[in-house]
Amino acid sequence: MTAPTLGQPVPDFQAPATGDKTVRLADYRGKKLVLYFYPKDNTPGCTQEGIAFRDNLEQFERLNTVILGVSRDSVKMHEGFKCKQAFPFDLLSDQDETLCQLFDVIKMKNMYGKQVRGIERSTFLIDESGVLIKEWRKVPVKTHIADVLAFLQTL
């Protein structure tokens, strides 16, 4: 699969998700999809980002938009994280990095002075017909949800 390009259809994908589901992109035709990639469950920035999506869910729903989170954590880890934070949206497990590679979000990062391979916090907006219409990379957690909502409101 080649990486999605703005203005082009995103290749259909599937991934295991919370709620004992397998999620496919095609399942969301007719709705906009916010696909947000984050490094790790139960870490401060990732928790803050998920809570911000949760707390603004009603606004996203009014804009015909579904939210899905993606990390390399297992479905079991996701279930605990989702329950603890009362996330009303599903989290996708990408342990084999298929989605991470498709969206090119694995980068070398500095962590405690060491270079490590990890997910660069990124969000992708896919329209009702499966076309990539916006991407945000190196996402700043504090302002990100407002940025996504502001863009959605222009559509």
- Supply the Cα-derived Rg of the chain in whole angstroms: 14
Crossing angle between the packed helical segments 44-55 and 141-154, to the nearest 10 degrees: 30
Catalytic residue among 25, 34, 46, 148: 46
Whether 83 is a known active-site residue: answer no
Largest CA distance in the chain: 45
CB within 8 Å of 119: residues ≥ 6 apart = 37, 38, 39, 71, 72, 100, 105, 106, 107
Closest Cα to residue 40, out of 16, 76, 73, 67?
73
Cα–Cα distance, 15 to 57 (Å, whole number) = 22
CB within 8 Å of 143: residues ≥ 6 apart = none
DSSP code of 66? Answer: E
Q: Which residues are catalytic?
A: 46
